[in-house]
Amino acid sequence: MSSITAISSFALIAALAAAGPQAQAQSAPPEATEQAAGDTDAAQATDDDPQERSLSSKAAEAAGKAAEKASEITGAVVDKVKAAVDKARADTGITDAETDQPSSAVAPSNAEIQRQTQPATNAGSAKITKPDDAAGAVATPVSAMAQGAPTKREWSRLKGVSEAVAADYKANLESLFVHFHENPELSFRESKTANRLASELKALGYEVTQGVGQTGLVAVMRNGDGPTVMMRADMDGLPVEEKSGLAYASKAMQEDIDGEMKPVMHACGHDVHITSLVGAARQMATRKNDWKGTLVLIGQPAEERISGAKAMLDDGLYSRFPKPDYAIAFHVAADLPAGKIEVNDSLVSSSSDSVNITVRGIGAHGAGPHKGVDPILVASHIVVALQSIVSRSINPLEPGVITVGSFHGGFKHNIISDKVDLQLTVRSNNPKVRDQLIAGIERTAEGIARGLGVPENLLPIVEYGFESTPTTINDTPTAKLVRSAFVDKFGADGLVNPPAEGMGAEDFAYFVQPETGVRGVYFAVGGTPEDELANAAGHHSGLFKVWPEPAVKVGTEAMTTAAMKLFATPPASLGASGQ
């Protein structure tokens, strides 16, 4: 009930109470009024009969008592309504002067709320509990509306972001997460994911363009003069068979860009990212009175192939659409406590380069190896020698990783093949070290091949640059600003700062390279309860899982909080970029 309706109702009942017993009797419960009317009619019909006069008096007395009872009931109702009105006015901050004014809050229409709470095609509206391995991890599907989706009036009261996000999670985001988790798609194959994301954002009033960088999506909301802030979420899943045991586990299969059918799983939490993007988009749309500027939302393809961000930029992201002053994004982390946030001032993630090495040889019979050049032997020596690059060729105080993730050669027991294919990932935190590692791989592959008799015309072929990303480095002044906003919102104990334990990479780096002039902040949101951290499966594992409610809710609140702070901060006020 709105405050205006409540106050009007109170005035009506108060006037009724002041009108006296007759009016009160009219407002009495049906059984009381019927009894009083019946007794009065009986008294009038027997007025000339002395014996009946006594009965008439009794009837009148009964009618009077009924009226008194009605008065008591009406008075009690008045008191309750008045108390409810006072509480509603206190909760919403409405004063006497404001009760004649309509609410200025921007809220979704009832039709929009109803649309968004429809069960997903394959997911239903499963209510997620703690995602244990047991099949009972998800309760019986129930309608999101039955869970208490807010009405338009109720939504306008949810002034606090936490309260609004909690209500949105119940009404919309929970079932949306299940839908995305059950229906993952591979890199540059995220068409259905992009379509669903586009429909969610269009319904909230965003201008949406699809097909940017193949399957990427851009949504824009213009809201007057001010900074331009970009929120990015990656959409793709991984070619991994899910073994999490979750009731909403993926069973999807899809043809990859290499033409092979593969299982697909959100084994890195991108379902959390896109669900939170929708949540943050709704919060920003309902709070347009609280910010000015232009909001750009990105549904990015192919992060897992570290190719999607570059593809979107090459397709005119910063020329066809408003170029951001700020760019923000987050990654859910299975190794961080659920609901906690990590924000680094500078380096966030390492550079990454995928490298292919084709090792060639001369085929022969397995019983006569001297008549050929065995590429499997050559490739094996290369794999071992590559590890000496990190230990002997770069500064020992600089981190670096060369991992051979794939070795394929030969097809029969007694045949020496003529080719072996190696696939590597190379990581560093320093552009100079990155160049040293790549040069070392080329030098080592050629040197080993020559040493084992490979002819000059068959030396190994080393390829790189097709899947690569530079280091992701936060703009220091902007990162500090966002962290301060998070401390204000979540408290100092809501943030964590664990030591780095790996060299993960992230192609968000392309959006915020120094030459773009875009100030970036990339942060992490925990996805595993603290008492489960020791047993948490790693990212890219078939056993991977996160606890969606704290991850989605905190991710949504954090993105909204950061965006609000950045809209209120002219970029020039932060001075020179801190990269």
DSSP 302-317: -TTTT-HHHHHHHTTH
Distance, in Å, from the CA atom of 443 to the CA atom of 466, rounded to the nearest integer, reads 20
Distance, in Å, from the CA atom of 536 to the CA atom of 543, rounded to the nearest integer, reads 9
pLDDT at residue 500, as a whole number: 86
| Of residues 204, 210, 138, the one with CA closest to residue 168 | 204
In the structure, how many helices (H) and strands (E) does the chain have? 16, 17
Report the run of H or E that residue 154 belongs to, with start and end.
helix 152-157
Are the C-beta atoms of residues 309 and 510 closer than 8 Å to each other? yes
Distance, in Å, from the CA atom of 123 to the CA atom of 103, rounded to the nearest integer, reads 36
Q: State in Å, rounded, how far the first CA of the chain is from the last one.
A: 51
Residues that are catalytic: 236, 303
pLDDT at residue 159, as a whole number: 54
| Of residues 432, 416, 406, the one with CA closest to residue 377 | 416
Tell me the one-letter amino acid at 297.
L
**Could you tell me if residue 138 is left (phi over 0), alpha (psi between -120 and 50 degrees) or otherwise beta?**
beta
Mean pLDDT in each 10-residue stretch from start to end of the chain (579 residues)? 44 43 43 44 44 49 57 53 50 41 37 39 45 37 36 49 96 98 98 98 98 98 98 98 98 96 98 98 97 98 96 98 98 96 96 98 97 98 97 95 97 97 98 97 98 98 96 97 96 94 95 97 97 95 97 98 97 82
User: What is the pTM for the complete model shown?
Assistant: 0.73
Unique residue bearing structure tokens 């909403």? 248
Are the C-beta atoms of residues 36 and 69 closer than 8 Å to each other? no
| Of residues 169, 193, 207, the one with CA closest to residue 557 | 169
Distance, in Å, from the CA atom of 468 to the CA atom of 305, rounded to the nearest integer, reads 8
pLDDT at residue 25, as a whole number: 41
Q: What is the DSSP letter of 383?
A: H
Distance, in Å, from the CA atom of 560 to the CA atom of 10, rounded to the nearest integer, reads 38
pLDDT at residue 97, as a whole number: 38
| Of residues 241, 252, 281, 335, the one with CA closest to residue 551 | 335
Distance, in Å, from the CA atom of 122 to the CA atom of 179, rounded to the nearest integer, reads 7
Helix ranges restricted to H, 414-547 = 431-451, 476-490
Distance, in Å, from the CA atom of 548 to the CA atom of 559, rounded to the nearest integer, reads 16
Are the C-beta atoms of residues 357 and 424 closer than 8 Å to each other? yes
Q: What is the DSSP letter of 495?
A: B
Using alpha carbons, list the distances in angstroms from residue 42 to 54, 468, 525: 11, 97, 77
Distance, in Å, from the CA atom of 578 to the CA atom of 575, rounded to the nearest integer, reads 9
| Of residues 73, 82, 98, the one with CA closest to residue 11 | 82
